[in-house]
Amino acid sequence: MRLLRFLRSSVNIAKDIDYYSKFSPSPLSMKQFLDFGSENACEKTSFNFLRQELPVRLANIMKEINLLPDNLLGTPSVRLVQSWYMQSLQDILEFKNRNTDDEKLAYDFTDAVIKIRNRHNDVIPTMAQGVVEYKETYGTDPVVSQNVQYFLDRFYMSRISIRMLLNQHTLLFGGKVKDNPAHPKQIGSIDPHCCVSEVIRDAYENARNLCDRYYMNSPELILDEFNIKDKGSPITVVYVPSHLYHMVFELFKNAMRATMELHGDSMDYPPIHAQVALGSEDLTVKVSDRGGGVPLRKIDRLFTYTYSTAPRPSIDGSRAAPLAGYGYGLPISRLYARYFQGDLKLYSLEGYGTDAIIYIRALSTESIERLPVYNKSAWKHYKTIHEADDWCVPSKEPKDMTTFRSF
């Protein structure tokens, strides 16, 4: 009887995934998040939007999970992630036909949203472990690696967007206190006047603490600001401070590690330079180090999920898989930058150092969510057979010109 109920449930959830994946997600701008979360914030409006939007975002990415290789889908970690998404979709659909006049509705929905958010806390390391399990069992294949990279970019971007919606609702309506006591000026997770230099200094100090513990020393920070709009004033932007912190903290960790390992025997380490510039369209943050740089051929690899220069962490079965050492720091940071139409790029001078640049949209109306959508183009990406390169691949060995035929 229990098996029969499970089979019926699986069939129903598959139908729901098919149905909701036919709709495209509705991207919101930073200004829309801000306007909604201001004085006129309405919990009922948020509920009506989320009960329609969350199933669409969940279903779109769940359809793509099913396009992964069967052997990857069969790993325990990926199956666990799939089960989390299926359960979360079912939890949201429980509210599909609930009456908005129900007095218990607000409490029940907020409680469900918090449970979903907590359930998905370990999605990134668990999926990372699934990829590791697959690689260790079946090895690597260029086509599969390319598809996995494409999928993970979209999967983690989807997760960032879903978490943004969940956080906004819980922070605005989940507590008895309207304002967040830790950050009273924030509207949900968004700071309308995010002081960029403060976030940078906070990220630097925390990265420095890690560096001091590991290397017993750390490079200093030199921070400069260039405010074209209002010269002499601190640079502020409408942004999610936790996203900016995540990106800058990752860049500082990488810069410090490179600097300390290159200049390990020295007692005088070259400082890390951070520059912040605000123009009419972009806010740009540049982090520069003198850690020896990276060869050009390795730059793209640094954004590959399966690549890391740090030793892979050991797995403790009693805890969630750790993130450090999986090579996820830079790829995830780039997704945070791209989420609101920005970007993160690396420029390196091998033998000298590296410049890492974060681009953020200066205008809140231009900062619009970048969301993956499941459609024929996405489906084709997984099904297309990648043909041979249409450029010559240079040989490492010198050619014997005497063997060439004359025409």
On the CB side of 317, CA atoms within 13 Å amount to 1
Choose the catalytic residue: 254, 273, 286, 369. 254
Residue 185 annotated among the catalytic residues of the structure: no
Q: Which residues, including other chains, have CB under 8 Å from residue 118's CB and lie 6 or more apart?
A: none
Per DSSP, 177 falls in state S
Q: Closest by alpha carbon to 50, among 157, 173, 155?
A: 173
On the CB side of 239, CA atoms within 13 Å amount to 28
At 173, the amino acid letter reads: F
Q: Exposed, middle or buried: residue 46 (CB in 10 Å: 0-12, 13-18, 19+)?
A: buried
Residue 147 annotated among the catalytic residues of the structure: no
Pairing, β 282-289 against β 272-278: antiparallel
Choose the catalytic residue: 169, 246, 273, 286. 246
Q: Which residues does residue 282 pair with via DSSP β-bridges, in sequence order?
A: 361
Put the strands of the sheet holding 282-289 in their side by side order.
Answer: 221-227, 272-278, 282-289, 353-361, 343-349
Both tokens assigned to 201: 């200094």
Q: Are 191 and 183 in contact (CB under 8 A)?
A: yes
Task: Please state, as a whole number, how many other Cβ atoms lie within 10 Å of the Cβ of residue 279.
Answer: 12
Choose the catalytic residue: 64, 250, 286, 369. 250
Choose the catalytic residue: 253, 273, 286, 369. 253
DSSP string, 326-388: SS-HHHHHHHHHHHTT-EEEEEEETTTEEEEEEEEESSTTT-B------SHHHHHHHHPPP--
Q: Which residues does residue 361 pair with via DSSP β-bridges, in sequence order?
A: 282
Per DSSP, 321 falls in state P
Taking the C-alpha atoms of residue 308 and residue 17, their distance in angstroms, rounded to an integer, is 35
Residue 193 annotated among the catalytic residues of the structure: no
Q: Which residues does residue 286 pair with via DSSP β-bridges, in sequence order?
A: 275, 357
Residue 253 annotated among the catalytic residues of the structure: yes
Q: Closest by alpha carbon to 252, among 297, 200, 178, 189?
A: 200
Q: Are 343 and 337 in contact (CB under 8 A)?
A: yes
Task: Please state, as a whole number, how many other Cβ atoms lie within 10 Å of the Cβ of residue 265.
Answer: 5
Residues with catalytic function: 246, 250, 253-254
